């Protein structure tokens, strides 16, 4: 009888350790997310299931073109691409991204209207001063984010700059659907 009781205690301990480790991994290291909507086409598709790397920004700041998940509100997380960094001025004119007045290539955007993933060829020109907050440059501790599908994305043009405190993590891996498994940004 004592042997069975010890076995139950050992199994209970193992289960509690496993649950504790799963909790730590989920809370501090990685989290699953499901892409909701077409705002990141053609890079991410609606219903793609991804892993978010929560610890990458403990040690490094977000970099230009990172795909990040952030708290847009207390109920909703968004996934967008970092375009502007602190100290920079951002503008888009005639589909060309300008950082501090210099054009910057965006290889991830749909290339032409015959592209099956192209939803809307209109990119909605703007300058940093026109978005909520009326900034001349992006302040420290903030980034400007845009969806890859600029004609169909709620992003910094509407909601303003994103505080780095709002960022949950960096989108790292698409794991479902099976045929789309790959590391993002690699």
Catalytically annotated residues: 39, 80
Alpha-carbon gap, residue 135 to 4, rounded angstroms:
68
CB neighbours of 28 closer than 8 A, spacing ≥ 6?
A: 54, 55
Cα angle at 167 between 164 and 170, to 5 degrees? 120
């Amino acid at each position: 009888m004592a042997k069975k009781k010890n076995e139950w205690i050992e199994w209970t301990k193992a289960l509690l350790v496993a649950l504790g480790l799963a909790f730590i991994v989920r809370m501090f290291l990685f989290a699953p997310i499901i892409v909701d909507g077409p705002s990141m086409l053609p890079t991410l598709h609606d219903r793609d299931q991804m892993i978010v790397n929560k610890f990458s920004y403990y040690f490094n700041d977000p970099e230009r073109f990172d795909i990040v998940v952030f708290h847009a509100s207390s109920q909703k997380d968004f996934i967008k691409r970092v375009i502007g960094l602190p100290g920079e001025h951002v503008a888009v004119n005639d589909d060309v991204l300008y950082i501090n007045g210099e054009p910057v290539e965006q290889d991830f955007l749909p290339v032409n209207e015959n592209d099956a993933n192209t939803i809307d060829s209109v990119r909605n020109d703007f300058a940093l001063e026109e978005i909520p907050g009326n900034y001349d440059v992006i302040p420290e501790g903030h980034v400007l984010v845009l969806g890859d599908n600029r004609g169909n994305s709620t992003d910094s043009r509407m909601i303003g700059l994103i505080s780095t405190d709002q960022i949950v993590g960096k989108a790292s891996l698409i794991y479902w659907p099976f045929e789309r498994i790959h590391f993002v940004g690699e």
